[in-house]
Amino acid sequence: MSRPTTLSARAAQRLASGPLDPVTLMCDVCNVDRLQADAAERMALALLSSHPEFVRLPSGHWALAATATAPSDAPPDHGSAGSLLDVSFAVVDVETTGTSPVAGDRITEIAIAQVRGGEVVDVYAQLVNPQRPIPPYITQLTRISWEMVRDQPTFREIAPTVVDRLAGQVFTAHNASFDWRFVGEELDRGIGHLLAGPKLCTVRLARVLLPDLPRKSLDHVTRYFGIEIEARHRAEGDAVATAQALVRMLRIAENEGVRSWPALEKLLSAPSPKRRLTASDRRRRAFPLPASEDYIA
């Protein structure tokens, strides 16, 4: 059979055998060997969202509208009737040697907190040998030293476990793009696995559901809910606190009528409401906060 000449026709031919994640689909459609997950998602949306014959499933996979079914490893689609609290979330936090995986920074610790049924049901945490030095300022922030990680497994060694714990879950993190980039790079480097699927950022969720909260850092969101972080800037402490905050925000969403994963995606795709600046806000902008406190994650 000849290969279709238009990109949308190629996508239709490829999806005829069933749903595909954006990376696999766009690599095949565009005839490239590899794509970053974020780039593939943007490409798929740009190419397919205006064509009614294609649908994006709650899992993040694409399918033909006439035959759309979720793949077996995708998060369950509860539709409009199921509770949002029944969706499975993998809440991820990583500690790293720096801020750029592309520039060679690596993960020193990872934690994945599983959230199902509106509660934290399991936590996986593991120190990781980054196979490179840890800068002193990072050790000062995270309290993770080279002595702590030199005898720990490399990410390649734990990669299958990480993939297992992310499979069929919504990848969730506070400032999710940071954790997604690092985990994606490590999985690709270690075992050639391309990270794909649905993603949820709890910073974005807080902006939508807690518009009057002045700052959306993990410190501010957890303080708002009265959640204590057991160990700040350590993967397990931050992941568990983020998971607990996620549960609280999902309950707020349900109380506001957002009762399914598709409904939550729709809510988050809308522009964030703008909060009116107060005199306190203007003073903070005029006099920057000290750099010793973390206001980002």
CA pair distance 218, 291, nearest whole angstrom: 16
Which residues, 6 or more positions from 119, have their beta carbon under 8 angstroms from its beta carbon?
A: 247
HEC string for 170-220: EEEECCHHHHHHHHHHHHHHHHCCCCCCCEEEHHHHHHHHCCCCCCCCHHH
Structure tokens at 173: 């993190």
Distances (CA, A) of 76 to 27, 162, 245, 261: 25, 20, 22, 9
87 close to 170: Cβ distance less than 8 angstroms? yes
pLDDT of residue 281: 55
Identify the pLDDT of residue 282: 56
Q: Does an H or E element contain 138, and which?
A: helix 136-142
pLDDT at 293: 41
β-pair partners for 91: 113, 172
Q: What is the pLDDT of residue 66?
A: 75
Contact criterion met (CB below 8 Å) for 195 and 180: yes
Cα–Cα distance, 10 to 27 (Å, whole number): 11
DSSP H or E stretch at residue 124: strand 119-127
Query: How high is the pLDDT of residue 5?
Result: 64
> Which pLDDT value is given to residue 38?
75
pLDDT in tens, the chain (297 residues): 455 668 888 889 888 878 888 888 888 888 888 888 778 888 888 888 888 888 887 667 788 887 654 444 444 444 434 578 779 999 999 999 999 998 999 999 999 999 998 899 999 999 999 999 999 999 999 999 999 999 999 999 999 999 999 998 999 999 999 999 999 999 999 998 888 889 999 999 999 999 999 999 999 999 999 999 988 889 999 999 999 999 999 999 999 999 888 899 989 987 655 555 556 555 555 554 444 344 335
Tokens of 295: 């206001």
One-letter amino acid at 15 equals L
Return the number of other C-beta atoms located less than 10 Å from residue 150's C-beta: 12
Tell me, what's the pLDDT at 58?
62
Residues 10/3, Cβ–Cβ less than 8 Å: yes
pTM higher than 0.85: no
Instruction: Please provide the DSSP assignment of 72-99 as one string.
Output: TTSPP--TTTS-GGGS-EEEEEEEESSS
The strand pairing partners of 115, in sequence order, are 89, 120
Distance CA 281, CA 24 (A): 45
pLDDT for 291 equals 42
Beta strands 119-127; 107-116: pairing state: antiparallel
255 phi and psi angles, rounded to 5 deg: -65, -25
- pLDDT number for residue 69: 47
